[in-house]
Amino acid sequence: MLRSKTFLKKTRTGGVMKIVREHYLRDDIGCGASGCAECGAAHGGPALEPRPQDQASSLWPRPHYLLPDTNVLLHQIDVLEDPAIRNVIVLQTVLQEVRNRSAPVYKRIRDVTNNQEKHFYTFTNEHHRETYVEQEQGENANDRNDRAIRVAAKWYNEHLKKMSAENQLQVIFITNDRKNKEKAVEEGIPAFTCEEYIKSLTANPELIDRLACLSEEGNEIESGKIIFTEHLPLSKLQQGIKSGIYLQGTFRASRENYLEATVWIYGDTEENKEIIVQGLKHLNRAIHEDVVAVELLPKSQWVAPSSVVLQDEGQLEDDVDKEEERAHMLKTAINEKMLKPTGRVVGIIKRNWRPYCGMLSKSDIKESRRHLFTPADKRIPRIRIETRQASVLEGRRIIVAIDGWPRNSRYPNGHFVRNLGDVGEKETETEVLLLEHDVPHQPFSQAVLSFLPKMPWSITENDMKNREDLRHLCVCSVDPPGCTDIDDALHCRELTNGNLEVGVHIADVSHFIRPGNALDQESARRGTTVYLCEKRIDMVPELLSSNLCSLRCDVDRLAFSCIWEMNHSAEILKTRFTKSVINSKASLTYAEAQMRIDSATMNDDITISLRGLNKLAKILKKRRIEKGALTLSSPEVRFHMDSETHDPIDLQTKELRETNSMVEEFMLLANISVAKKIHEEFSEHALLRKHPAPPPSNYEILVKAAKSKNLEIKTDTAKSLADSLDRAESPAFPYLNTLLRILATRCMMQAVYFCSGMDSDFHHYGLASPIYTHFTSPIRRYADIIVHRLLAVAIGADCTYPELTDKHKLADICKNLNFRHKMAQYAQRASVAFHTQLFFKNKGIVSEEAYILFVRKNAIVVLIPKYGLEGTVFFEEKDKPKPQLIYDDETPSLKVEGTIFHVFDKVKVKIMLDSSNLQHQKIRMALVEPQIPGISIPNEISNMDINEPEEKRRKLEK
């Protein structure tokens, strides 16, 4: 049966176009119940159980299916995902509305419907002859959809009577819309609110905690005192932004101060790029990463960024007057130069809430169900939740979601989602850091895995099309020990004309991951492999990352090769790119490769190839540095794990060999060669990588620090910076140069991916290269897969597809990749920090030599070379007399009770684990030398002096 809709649409040129949409109605769409004789096998995919036994509801004890409306699906997804909730009918009407309103919830619903054990069934009611409804005259779209849902529920109950007259199987309509529920009951449809139904499941009381509390009236604090001004409606905000009364931007809360935030304003104007928001009322219930509208305050009310550290102590009572007092503390006496544009939040354009990890702060009131939840991320306010499991959840990491923030509540309201495990446990803390840094780490779905090649896999004749056979070449790979995802391999051989042929062979991942399929979409979403201390979160499934794409030795593998002809001075004479088949002759570690190069007795093909590569790499590096490439430094650490407990037993800085540099040089060269090629072919849509030059102000700290040691650092160009770093040597202080390079690294900007058609500045500052991209690690970086596809089209080895030459789509991909790479770095640092804590927890207190990296007003930041560890030594402590501190910003130096500290001074510190705050355990450092009475601590100090308070220790021992 065919229905058609006709409507008129105005075109850009002002004309009118008639559009006719055809809508097909069918009578062969199944109900989803697996025992239904009438429908037979009309439905595919997961089906409803013929006799659902799960939900023993006191409201409806008979067998039943659930049919939720759109708002229940949107707001109660945490309940629906619970294993206790099964046999749910998801209507097409509902699914389409959810898709339009929330992409994350839509994805979660799709995942649940694909889970066979949940028995969720998607019913295509909009194309079923008996359940399709036309929009009536004067009826809005919302009312039409509500009616469509009721019509489908009624049809189901009539249909199920035919199937199961004896077991009285029925559909229960779940809605929180009062009018819709009343109409459903009038029409004879069993209907309940989500809360009524969940509370009736007496066998699953824990589900009540997962209910989102949406009725703000019931959850507001009894005092009812209005704290915040009302948020303006979206229409008014949009008008205000258009007219320039309000500014739109992203709300970034402060980690140090819960009463302060910065709003990053959208647009190209340099003026008012950042707006400071100070004080509880001006923050007006905005949460970190929300898109907000702000009103600029008059200049007389502008403030300076606060240097005060304020943590929310989170009293349950809403003592707003006290908050006002604390806000006044922020307004310190400052000169006018420090004042920044200041504003207040007038409305929320888009909420960017996510589930938050943290811990429960149990209420002191006995039997209370209301408790405060403290997120691990200090930028997120505490959240008030209701739970009956407080005593079970205390001392555990849990996840909580925000439901809303009423005007008369000091904190937002939320609900419990799930329990992650005990605080401090390795698995729990790893899960927390992955969730907090938004690292996708769920196992790959069946839909994704279905696009993997079938095993046993071998290279076919079809695979050899447009591909060169290079299996005869003496190719080898050089990687860190234990590496299983080998992206790259190298070869070097002498040609008959006396020149050298050098090849970089990269795993041909794009051969296995085809554009647009589920495997490609998941790889694009993940963006990068994340390496934690003991765990690797792969971007692609293991079959590819550690097997079929990994260039292991003695197996045939598909590759993408970049081959140069060079003379012995490492000058490139010819460059060619080809898809290839290789057979690596050796998988070496950096140490093994170095040993071969240095050996006087080894002269086999692999060793000769390595020596040739190493010789050329040294020339390439020298030439790169002469052009102004920077050689910076950052202390990287390596943990040695106990084979049984998997706890770190040793912590050392990573040793870098010549072979590390050798591999790096050829990877850089390949990336530059490929960048030039894809930009030649696709000037508007090449995916490139740039590293912006830092603004001069970034270098102030480096220049001042060097000056304090009578050294001059020039920063006008990358070349002058590189040269002055090379000259900055002190025979009496050999480590000084490393410290300067570490400090220079901190001055740098972040390198980013971009689309060539959307930017004009391609320069890579750190590498002193006019153009650069990423080609050499497609197993662990999605950017490289796109670059491989571009290069394959450029050399005629593969066909193009629309998204590849759409610069706006490419810009969106770059935006996601930049975010994922940044989050991966943060997650890796958090993993190192956690394992460092474990190391010092087992090791106890140690004293080590350290160097001062930064001088602050009340502290020094030090680096301990032995462990590559950085930490802060504070000179002001709570409940202790304050020492005399004189800070000089120019030198920079800090005078503590007559002892002066400069940057790069050598000190001795004690390192210990501070467990006084269970959620934020941290490494604490205290000064041992130079000795300052009342500040330095003696060499002998017991663990008990710095560990948790007595009361907490007793709790933990129980």
In tens, the pLDDT along 754-771 reads 999 888 889 898 888 999
| 215 pLDDT higher than 60 | no
| 638 pLDDT higher than 70 | no
Domain boundary among 195, 211, 227: 211
Q: What is the pLDDT of residue 949?
A: 39
Same domain, 265 and 338: yes
Same domain, 414 and 437: no
Half-sphere exposure of residue 170: CA atoms within 13 angstroms, side-chain side: 12
Among 455-464, 489-498, 822-831, top mean pLDDT goes to 489-498
Q: Indicate whether 280 belongs to any domain.
A: yes
Domain boundary among 375, 400, 421: 421
Q: Indicate whether 20 belongs to any domain.
A: no
User: Tokens representing 442?
Assistant: 């769920």
Same domain, 408 and 434: no
Same domain, 475 and 340: no
Same domain, 359 and 457: no
Same domain, 564 and 479: yes
User: Tokens representing 797?
Assistant: 């080895």
Q: What is the pLDDT of residue 311?
A: 59
Spatial distance between the Cα atoms of 344 and 229, rounded to a whole number of angstroms: 11
Q: 113 falls in which pLDDT band (50, 70, 90)?
A: confident
Same domain, 233 and 361: yes
User: Tokens representing 136?
Assistant: 């009536």
Q: Indicate whether 4 belongs to any domain.
A: no
Same domain, 476 and 509: yes
Same domain, 245 and 335: yes
- Omega prior to 892 cis, within 30 of 0: yes
- Phi, then psi, of 313 in degrees rounded to 5: -75, -15
Q: Indicate whether 22 belongs to any domain.
A: no
Instruction: Tell me the CA distances in angstroms from 954 to 923, 957, 958, one per residue in order.
Output: 22, 5, 7
Bridge partners, 566 (sequence order): 500, 572
Instruction: Report pLDDT digits (tens) over 409-457.
Output: 889 999 888 888 888 888 888 888 898 888 999 999 888 999 999 989 9
Residue 948 maps to which CATH number?
A: 2.40.50.140
Q: Indicate whether 294 belongs to any domain.
A: yes
Same domain, 450 and 351: no
**First and final CA of the chain: distance in angstroms?**
71
Do residues 138 and 147 lie in contact, with contact meaning Cβ atoms separated by under 8 Å?
Answer: no
Do residues 58 and 90 lie in contact, with contact meaning Cβ atoms separated by under 8 Å?
Answer: no
Q: What is the pLDDT of residue 942?
A: 44
Q: 950 falls in which pLDDT band (50, 70, 90)?
A: very low
- Length of the chain equals 958
Q: 954 falls in which pLDDT band (50, 70, 90)?
A: very low
Q: Residue 34's CB: how many other CB atoms inside 10 A?
A: 17
Q: 876 falls in which pLDDT band (50, 70, 90)?
A: confident
Instruction: Report pLDDT digits (tens) over 303-316.
Output: 877 655 555 655 44
Which long-range CB contacts under 8 A does 52-56 form with residues at least 24 apart? 52/86, 52/87, 52/119, 52/169, 54/84, 54/85, 54/86, 54/87, 55/84, 55/85, 55/86, 55/87, 55/201, 56/201, 56/202, 56/203
Residue 131 maps to which CATH number?
A: 3.40.50.1010
Q: 934 falls in which pLDDT band (50, 70, 90)?
A: low
Spatial distance between the Cα atoms of 868 and 829, rounded to a whole number of angstroms: 12
User: Which H helix or E strand runs over 104?
Assistant: helix 103-114
Beta pairing, strands 530-531 & 536-537: antiparallel
Beta pairing, strands 170-174 & 64-68: parallel
Same domain, 336 and 361: yes
| 606 pLDDT higher than 90 | yes
Give the three-class secondary structure for 477. Answer: strand
* Radius of gyration of the chain from its Cα atoms, rounded to whole angstroms: 32
Do residues 218 and 211 lie in contact, with contact meaning Cβ atoms separated by under 8 Å?
Answer: no
Query: Average pLDDT over the chain, rounded to whole?
Result: 83
Q: What is the pLDDT of residue 678?
A: 95
| 321 pLDDT higher than 70 | no
Q: Indicate whether 21 belongs to any domain.
A: no
Which of 145-149, 505-509, 861-865, 876-880 shows the lowest mean pLDDT across its residues? 876-880
Which has the higher per-residue pLDDT, 834 or 217?
A: 834
Residue 288 maps to which CATH number?
A: 2.40.50.690
Across 36-53, average pLDDT: 69
Spatial distance between the Cα atoms of 817 and 803, rounded to a whole number of angstroms: 16
Across 472-489, average pLDDT: 91
Which of 107-111, 113-117, 492-496, 821-825 shows the lowest mean pLDDT across its residues? 113-117
Q: Indicate whether 706 belongs to any domain.
A: yes
Domain boundary among 795, 816, 839: 839
Q: What is the pLDDT of residue 953?
A: 35
Q: 4 falls in which pLDDT band (50, 70, 90)?
A: low
Same domain, 744 and 757: no
Q: Indicate whether 14 belongs to any domain.
A: no
Across 692-698, average pLDDT: 84
User: Tokens representing 49?
Assistant: 């159980």
When divided into structural domains, the chain yields a total of 5
Write the DSSP assignment of 513-550 as a string of letters: S-TTSHHHHHHHHH-B-EE-SS-EE-SS-HIIIIIISS
Domain that holds residue 191: 30-211
